Structure 1
């Protein structure tokens, strides 16, 4: 079946609608970052840069680290942008733009997020580089997709739903990291469940002027423990990345530069150094 023009929008130059990329522009290894300015902070370590493209908040650099072709792409903030980025990355490698049909042989991308996050456990200090063993989404993205869970994912999500059972308006979803990427790129890092929130302030338990509807939200998160699986940090993309990667047949890992301690109410005075540490570590391991 051909995919409708209104479902998969292709620009007049043959590029995908939002990312402005052509099939062949992306490598099989893709690093995602939230901040468009961080794309250059990654690609400056490439041995060579093949091209740079950009549209809206989506900036892409593709080049080589040694003999390995790598793409770094900014997603912007939130799982609504992850929905755009991951569907369009998948289309670039798995849909024939001429026929608008799914290719017979599918490509599985290795996708590594390098992002910032705040720790919610007292024993995880600022400066930690943390690999997400699971992404736990508190947003609504996966209400719109069919997701098949493994037995371990289902058991852990059941425990989460029991823990959060009194929050009737939240419908969590949960997906594990790709095991190969977790054990290779994420080796020797702190591991834990990363919560993806649909906002930065009250949805992450911050209090400024507006009144929060969930009191002691951070404590509610950090008090969860199931078979030594605990929630370690908060951010805004990981769960969507893990869930859509699995739905579309890609491998994903989220690497988090811990810039804040939410339990100690502290924020790093050297955030750029922590992010740079994470970037160098990932590039060394890919």
Structure 2
């Protein structure tokens, strides 16, 4: 069978042989990848590394590849939002599974293990500020995965239906999708000290998460509905903005992925911790030990 050729307009390679946005070359990518939103958090992860072999930055995409206790790891920032995850996950996959010299897919698939470390808003009394939440399934309200042909094969369609019914979902918002974390990786990272539940990955920070400032939101009862949703004895535990795209695209591309977050705001209790940057190092260490 003839291998598929990826034209220069589709697979954009920089003059130095790196991928278009991340500016990484294939040899700079480790099999284990820790994803974070904040470029500065890459430096916080790299402080734990025993060795550093490369550091690359472009826009909000900051990368350090090094070793931690003998494990080669790439720390990669992605910025905010599922649209950025579309860039990062696709470009990481090209580095792993496309031959940049011939612009054809490699004959042997390389599987990446991706763990996103983030911050989030808790939605339950049992997710107070400071606790860690592992996303078992992520309900994406951003619509990203709906642009990919295989979305039904990697999503929980029954959970999607139950969620839309419970929320009395407005079709103008677009169809939500439910992406599933890799089960084995979830158990490996979450252990017995993280709260497990559903996560809602939103297409914005204010209106989509039920925050109302000067612009009124379309459903003032949205958060109360989210808090009361139960499916298979599991609750929606938190809000964030990337987990659905990470899990969904990883599933489509044959990689392992999950998201764990530290709660920095509890929307249920209306509490916020803005001094979270030091305490998130505990979560970083847990992931480094377990990945």
TM-score per shorter chain, which class? over 0.9
Cα distance in 1 for residues equivalent to 2:153 and 2:20: 33
Alpha carbons 1:147, 1:243 under 8 Å: kept: no
Q: Which moved more, 1:24-33 or 1:212-221?
A: 212-221
- Corresponding position of 1:109: 112
- Corresponding position of 1:8: 11
Aligned-partner SS, 1:230: strand
Alpha carbons 1:258, 1:274 under 8 Å: kept: no
| Ranges in structure 2 where 5+ consecutive residues have no aligned partner | none
Task: State yes or no: 1:209 paired with 2:187.
Answer: no
Which residue of 187, 191, 207 corresponds with 1:183? 187
Aligned-partner SS, 1:232: strand
- Corresponding position of 2:226: 221
Task: State yes or no: 1:246 paired with 2:246.
Answer: no
Cα distance in 2 for residues equivalent to 1:157 and 1:141: 15
Cα distance in 2 for residues equivalent to 1:232 and 1:149: 24
The two structures, once aligned, show a CA RMSD in angstroms of 1.4
Question: Normalising to structure 2: TM-score of the pair?
Answer: 0.95
- Corresponding position of 1:137: 140
Cα distance in 2 for residues equivalent to 1:151 and 1:60: 28
Which residue of 133, 153, 157 corresponds with 1:154? 157
Residues 152 and 252 of structure 1, relative CA distance in 2, 3 Å threshold: closer
Task: State yes or no: 1:59 paired with 2:86.
Answer: no
Q: Deviations over 1:188-223 (max 9, x none)?
A: 111011101000001100111111111122111111
Question: 1:158 offset after TM fit, Å?
Answer: 2.0
- Corresponding position of 2:47: 44
Question: 1:63 offset after TM fit, Å?
Answer: 0.2
Aligned-partner SS, 1:30: strand
Cα distance in 1 for residues equivalent to 2:202 and 2:274: 24
Task: State yes or no: 1:260 paired with 2:265.
Answer: yes
| Ranges in structure 1 where 5+ consecutive residues have no aligned partner | none
- Corresponding position of 2:89: 86
Aligned-partner SS, 2:156: helix
Task: State yes or no: 1:128 paired with 2:135.
Answer: no
Cα distance in 1 for residues equivalent to 2:7 and 2:106: 15
Question: 1:150 offset after TM fit, Å?
Answer: 6.0
Cα distance in 2 for residues equivalent to 1:273 and 1:249: 34
Cα distance in 2 for residues equivalent to 1:32 and 1:115: 8
Cα distance in 2 for residues equivalent to 1:69 and 1:46: 9
Aligned-partner SS, 2:218: coil
Cα distance in 2 for residues equivalent to 1:166 and 1:227: 20
Residues 99 and 29 of structure 1, relative CA distance in 2, 3 Å threshold: same
Residues 178 and 28 of structure 1, relative CA distance in 2, 3 Å threshold: same
Question: 1:228 offset after TM fit, Å?
Answer: 0.8
Q: Deviations over 1:56-84 (max 9, x none)?
A: 11000000001110000000000110000
Runs of 4+ in structure 1 displaced over 6 angstroms? none
Cα distance in 1 for residues equivalent to 2:195 and 2:26: 36
Aligned residue pairs, count: 286
